[in-house]
Every structure is written in structure tokens, then in C-alpha cells.
Structure 1
Amino acid sequence: MSDYSIRLYVDSDYEVTRNLFRNGIIEHHNKAFHHALQRPHIWLPALVVLTLPALNLVSVTTSILVVLTAVAAIWFYCRYMYTSYVDYALSDDMLDISKYYLQRDGFCFWVAETRGGEVVGTIAALPSSDPGGEKHLELKRLSVATKHRGKGIAKVLCRTLIDFARRRGCEAVVLSTSLAQINATKMYEKLGFRQTHSFYPPGLLGQFLDFKIIAYRYDIPAL
């Protein structure tokens, strides 16, 4: 980690920061797709359709086309779950990062930078809006460029945010992430975050694809 430093976001980081966020989120859609295909309520009907030609109910070509169309639709919907979230974030808090995160009390945004001046990681903090979370800080927008992963950057970014929360007198840091973000969940748990609950996004699509959101909490030790 000595080849990297953590600093506050500046406006010249705008495009690279948004791209890091976009790429870091959308890359998970294939994992979500593979997870969905493992659900019995998805692959069992596909097997039934593939057996229909043996009963002379449909042609082999038709059964294969039906299954392929269904698989393509599932892939599209998995990707949509991530792209729609990215589109929303880029038009919300990531639209004017300085104004949203650096000009409001209790908010902050950091980047990880190489010695050569390349921004390769991001993380954001904001007061939790959850009921009863008045003294909780929420971790958002954690992302590290693919070629710079495995070097401890994400952990240092998280610890930077935790230290920020501690200095502000917060009792806990909370976050939510999708089930498909396996490496992220492992890292959070190694840092001391514990899973508190899980839920599906609004609508039936998330439940159908088993697109589960996992909530984590890190309790800040009292001094």
C-alpha cells in the first residue's frame, strides 16, 4: 500500500471517479446471472421444456429456442438490475460529487491515488438515513480499479472511513451490497463487519432472480 495514498476528492477526479463506480458495479451482473440460473424455479422449467420433443409436443428447435430466449432474458434482467442502479446514482449523488459529499456536514469522499497520480479507488461516507441510525455512518461508492485489486487498497479506504466515523462520534458504520459481490462481502467480514439482515429490492423481479441485498454493520469500539 506504500505505493498509494488516500486523499480527498477534487473536481479533476470527476470522470475517472464516475467510471470507476460504473465499471465496478456493472461487472457483477454476470455473477448475478450465474447465481440466478442455479435457482430451481429457473432451471427446472428449462429442463421440462427440453424434454417436450421426446413427447412429440414441440420440435427440438422450438424447445431450444424457448430455453435460449429465457436464458437471454434472465441475462438482460440481471444486467438491468445493475445498470439501472448505476444510472440512478450517476444522476443523483455522483452527479455533483463535490457539492453532495464535500459541502455537507457528515459527508465525505476519498480517492486512492498512485504515486504517478492515477486515481484507482474511491469511497464515500454519508449519515445513515435508516431509522434509529442517527449515530451511524453509511459506507458508499467503494470501488477499486481491476488491475489494482488485491493490494489492500479497499481495506485502507474502509479504515479511512471508519476513522472518520470515529472522530465524528459515530457508533457504527453501515453498508449494503449485493449478494453477487462476493469478494467485497469477504473483505467486509475480515474487517469486522457483521451481516445484520438481507432483503430484496422493490418489485417481483429481484425475488425471481434471487437478487438479494445484504446489509452489514461495523460497531466502533468505545474509547
Structure 2
Amino acid sequence: MADYSIRLYRDSDYTAVRDLFAEGTIEHTRVAFKHAFTLRRVWIFLGVVFLLPLLLVESIAFSIGSLALALVGLWLGTRDLYASYVRHALSDDMLDIKKYYLQRDGHCFWVAESDGVVVGMVAAVPSSYPGGERHTELKRMSVARSHRGKGIAKALCRTLIDFSRERGCQAVVLETTLGHQAAHNLYKRMGFRWQHSTFLNHPLAKAVDFKFFFYKFDIPTRRQ
């Protein structure tokens, strides 16, 4: 028997939900940072940062220091890709969760609770993408590290799919980033299909190949 339950969001969940969302998003900085080092342009940039001071001032210490500063800057810039996303969400739909998600048609917000603690969350909104008039968008999916691997994300996803089916929707769509590797695997196992990718609107996004990946799940009709 599962040691968690899924229910609608309550105002008393506010702080826990905001913290879970922020922490669960920012933690993917490491994956995005590692991905940057698979890019040739990043290696070229770091090579120039190291060699230019060496040629100009002939100081290996200065070159190493310049390289260290570049790496720190790359880490902070990559982290800000996620941090800016979090800041936007917390000042937009996550500012008043009850008003935004529970008092509007076609919207909803669920949490997973274990031993009285919120350990997971997911939200539903009508899709704003072209051609998605009868689609639901999955948003704000997050599960606490301590409770991953227990099927919570899958259960939250199923809850949203059932909600969408009951509303007569034809599909569920979502977007996720490269850093959410476990999420990619989950969505694919559940039948979501990749549609396309797009860059985040951030000055560093294209340089480090930071993309949003769009997935779609076609809701099967139930036999009568």
C-alpha cells in the first residue's frame, strides 16, 4: 500500500509547495552545467579565456585565475537560467495558487502528502499552445528527493490525465528542461511523445544549449 495520498491543494500547503517547486527546479543546475561541457563552443571559450592572458601577460597564475573566474561565471549563469524561471513562476501563477488554480475553470492543483508532509505536486491548466483548445497542460510537477522512486510522480501524472479525460480533453501537453532527466524518462514510459524544442528567453540559453522540450500524450478514449 502506498505511504502517500494525493489531494487538492490547500492554503496551508503554500510554503511547502513554493519551497518544493523552487528547490526541485534549482537542483537541476548541475545537469545543465555538465551538459555545457559537451559543447564545442564552451571549450573554445574556456580555451580562449585561459590562453589569452597567458599570451598577453605571460602568467600561468593569471591564466588559471581567469579560467577559474570563467567557470564560476558559467556555473552562476547556468544556475540563473533556473533561478529566473523560478522567480517568474513565484511572481505569476505560484503567487496565489488557490486563486490561480482552484478558482478557474479547467485549472487544478494537487499535492502528494506523506505523514502530513507535502512531498509532491502537479498543476493543470488549459493549454495556450496553438491548436490546443482541447488540451490540458501539465505544469509544476515536482517530488521531494526523499520520496522519489515511490511512484508519486506517476500517480500525480495519472491524476492529471484522469482530470483531463473527465473534462473531455483530447491530450495532455507539457514542457520540461534537459536537467529534468528523470522526468523525461517518466513521461516517455507513460506514453508522452516528444514534439519539439525551443530555447529559454535568456541571454545565456543558446550558448549553453538550454532548451525546453515539449511532449504530448494523446488521451485514449474509454470503451463504453
Tell me if the contact between 1:109 and 1:123 (Cα under 8 Å) persists in the aligned partners: yes
Which residue matches 1:21?
21
Structure 2 CA distance for partners of 1:16 and 1:130, relative to 1, 3 Å? same
Give TM-score scaled by structure 1 length. Answer: 0.94
Give the superposition deviation at 1:150. 0.5
Task: Name the CA distance, whole Å, in 1 between partners of 2:204 and 2:50.
Answer: 24
1:185-200 aligned within 5 A = 185-200=184-199
Tell me if the contact between 1:52 and 1:58 (Cα under 8 Å) persists in the aligned partners: no
Give the superposition deviation at 1:72. 1.1
Name stretches of at least 5 consecutive residues in structure 1 with no aligned partner: none
1:27-106 aligned within 5 A = 27-51=27-51, 58-106=58-106
Count of aligned positions: 222
Task: Name the CA distance, whole Å, in 2 between partners of 1:55 and 1:17.
Answer: 52
Letter in 2 for 1:87: R
Cα RMSD of the aligned pairs, angstroms, is 1.6
Aligned residue for 1:198, secondary structure, equals: strand
Name stretches of at least 5 consecutive residues in structure 2 with no aligned partner: none
Deviations 1:103-135 (A, max 9, x none): 011000001011x21111000000000111100
Give the superposition deviation at 1:48. 4.7
Give the superposition deviation at 1:59. 1.1
Structure 2 CA distance for partners of 1:138 and 1:30, relative to 1, 3 Å? same
Tell me if the contact between 2:81 and 2:202 (Cα under 8 Å) persists in the aligned partners: no
1:99-178 aligned within 5 A = 99-114=99-114, 116-178=115-177
Deviations 1:120-155 (A, max 9, x none): 100000000011110000000111111000100000
Identity %: 56
Letter in 1 for 2:21: F
Letter in 2 for 1:205: L
- Superposed structure 1 runs of 4+ greater than 4 Å apart: 51-57
Structure 2 CA distance for partners of 1:22 and 1:190, relative to 1, 3 Å? same
Give TM-score scaled by structure 2 length. Answer: 0.94
Give the superposition deviation at 1:34. 1.3
- Does 2:8 match 1:8? yes
Structure 2 CA distance for partners of 1:53 and 1:142, relative to 1, 3 Å? closer
* Range 33-42 or range 18-27, more displaced: 33-42
Give the superposition deviation at 1:202. 2.3
